[in-house]
Amino acid sequence: MPEIQFREALRQAMVEEMERDETVFLMGEEVGEYNGAYKVSEGMLARFGPKRIIDTPISEAGFCGLGIGAAMCGLRPIVEFMSWSFSWVAIDQLVNNAANVRYMSGGQFRVPIVFRGGNGIAHQLGATHSHRMDAVYSRIPGLIVVAPSNPYDAKGLLKTSIRCDDPVIFLESEMMLNDRGEVPAEEYTLPLGVADVKRTGSDVTIISWSKCMKYALKAAEMLEAEDIDAEVIDLRTLRPLDEQTISQSIRKTHRCVIVDEDWPYCGMGAGILEKVYQHCFDDLDAPVKRVCSEDVPSPYNHYLELQMQPNPEKVVAAVKEVCYR
């Protein structure tokens, strides 16, 4: 299979779906003339023209509302956020409108729209550009939340998201856009709501998604040298959550560590932890541990920024704590 960058996988997904379906279009800040803030949409303006690759003003509330209206009228918009931190100024459109229109109209209106862009802590972008929006949108009925960790999953999940008749929150990490991975040249899609066991094991279940999957997989390698056999689950979709795959793994390993980039209080990992206790309490031989970011605004200083985030060493320490109780 060809090996391509994460950003190329996203671009391939959008190009293929736009060629397949003329109702699909892309809009957002700098997606056209500038080829995308992170070059995800590079070359798409020349290929599809300004009616389908639309540069917007710096007004997230405005172009999100426009996209939702277009979706209600039968189109399939892809709305790019330069950063998911900027979605705070459009949250009424996403949470009050996109999530509720189909329900409140009794199914008369569908809202087939994908909101996508960079989520989480990148590199010295400061507190206002480093929000992790996983838990913010995963708690909202009516929204689907997707968070891929590699190019193969990103392409397959984005294609499925574009075809979905409900609004999809598609969370990418700017720190993964250069990551490379094998992606088939032929057509494929991946189902929403289905987790993937990236590594099988028998001693402990490590649950993660998106950028933190790197830490989970690296920690599993480090633990193998110490005779701890870790199973690693990539959730891929945060809502709906694949509770069955999680439960099956924990009933086998009897221990669990959750790795996420969110804050500790009311973060995404805390919501998953509640599900684990709800379904697997009697199967656990140790309390569930969570490795997440420190409960502080994201620092601009590079070394402080790294210190406040999860890393493989923190994951290893958490696993040892649950395994050696």
**pLDDT tens digit string along 143-165?**
999 999 999 999 999 999 999 99
Instruction: Specify the domain boundaries for CATH 3.40.50.970 within the chain.
Output: 3-182
Distance CA 91, CA 80 (A): 14
- Cite the active site residues: 60, 129
DSSP labels, 257-283: EEE-SS-STT-HHHHHHHHHHHHHGGG
**Cβ–Cβ < 8 Å for 281, 273:** no
* Residue-wise pLDDT tens digits, 254-271: 999 999 999 999 999 999
Cα distances (Å, whole numbers) of residue 82 to 16, 53, 127, 151, 319: 22, 15, 15, 19, 35
pLDDT band at 290 (very low <50, low <70, confident <90, very high): very high
- Encode burial over 150-170: b for 16+ CB neighbours within 10 A, e otherwise: bbbbbbbbbbbbbbbebbbbb
Query: Which amino acid type is present at position 225?
Result: A
42 class by beta-carbon count within 10 Å (0-12 exposed, 13-18 middle, 19+ buried): middle
**Helix 212-224 / helix 312-323 crossing angle, nearest 10 deg:** 50
pLDDT at residue 1, as a whole number: 87
Torsion of CA 59, 61, 66, 68, to 10 degrees: 150
**Average confidence (pLDDT) over 119-142:** 96
* Residue-wise pLDDT tens digits, 209-252: 999 999 999 999 999 999 999 999 999 999 999 999 999 999 99
Quote the tokens at residue 305.
Answer: 């920024």
CATH 3.40.50.920 matches 196-323: yes
Class (C level, CATH) for 3-182 = alpha beta
pLDDT at residue 15, as a whole number: 98
Distance CA 236, CA 232 (A): 12
Query: Which amino acid type is present at position 238?
Result: L
Distance CA 54, CA 162 (A): 17
pLDDT at residue 164, as a whole number: 98
Q: What is the DSSP letter of 129?
A: G
Instruction: Specify the domain boundaries for CATH 3.40.50.920 within the chain.
Output: 196-323
pLDDT band at 140 (very low <50, low <70, confident <90, very high): very high
**Average confidence (pLDDT) over 133-149:** 98
Query: Which amino acid type is present at position 72?
Result: M
